[in-house]
Amino acid sequence: MGNGERMITAEVGIRVRYQETDQMGVVYHANYFTWFESARIELLDHMKCPYLKLEKMGFLLPVIQCEAKFLKPAKFDDRLVVRVSLNKVPAARITISYEVFHDEVLLCTGQTIHAFVDRSGRLIRPPNDFLDCAKKYFKK
C-alpha cells in the first residue's frame, strides 16, 4: 500500500444465541448476515458516523448484494469475533468485508455491497459527513 491506501477496520464480539442454531446443531447460515450487520454498525461508530445518525438525516444504506463462505460451523454459546473492513474509498457503491473467528480460527468470510438511498428508495450520493469520515482513513 505504498500509495498511502489504508483501510478502516473494526471488531465486534458475538455470543451465539440458541435461537440462531438449527437442528443440524450449528448456526443457521443466514444468521451470519445479521452478525455482519452488527459489525458494520460498529465500523460506522468507529468512523464517528453512526448509522442511526445517518438514517435520521435521511440516508439509508441498504444491502444490494451479499455473499458468504462457510468454512467451519459456529455453535451455540461460541464467543465469536467479527472483523469488518472497508478497503476502498467509498464511491457510489460501498463494499464491506467480514471475517468471523472463533478462538482465532476463521469460520466464515463474507462481503456486502451497499448504496445510499433516500427515504423513497432513490439512489443518492453518499452524505458528505460519511465521505469525509472515510477519506481521513484513506488519505496519505
Catalytic residues: 22
Least distance (Å) between residue 61 CB and its own copies: 9
Judged by CB under 8 A, the stretch of 1-9, 36-44, 84-92, 131-139 that binds its own copies is 36-44
Least distance (Å) between residue 8 CB and its own copies: 20
Residue 118 near its own copies by CB under 8 A: no
Looking only at the bridges linking them, the beta strands covering 79-86 and 8-15 are antiparallel
Query: What is the rounded distance in angstroms from the CA atom of residue 127 to the CA atom of residue 35?
Result: 25
Residue 65: burial class (beta carbons within 10 Å; 0-12, 13-18, 19+): exposed
Residue 66 near its own copies by CB under 8 A: yes
Residue 95 near its own copies by CB under 8 A: no
Name beta bridge partners: 60: 117
Query: What is the rounded distance in angstroms from the CA atom of residue 40 to the CA atom of residue 85?
Result: 8
Q: Which of 118, 94, 109, 108 is nearest to 43 (CA)?
A: 94
Q: Could you say which of 5, 17, 106, 139 contacts its own copies (CB under 8 A)?
A: 17
Q: Could you say which of 5, 22, 118, 132 contacts its own copies (CB under 8 A)?
A: 22
Q: Which of 127, 125, 36, 121 is nearest to 86 (CA)?
A: 36
Least distance (Å) between residue 132 CB and its own copies: 22
Q: Which residues bind its own copies (CB under 8 A)?
A: 15, 17-19, 21-26, 28-31, 33-34, 37-38, 41, 50-52, 60, 62-70, 73, 76-77, 121
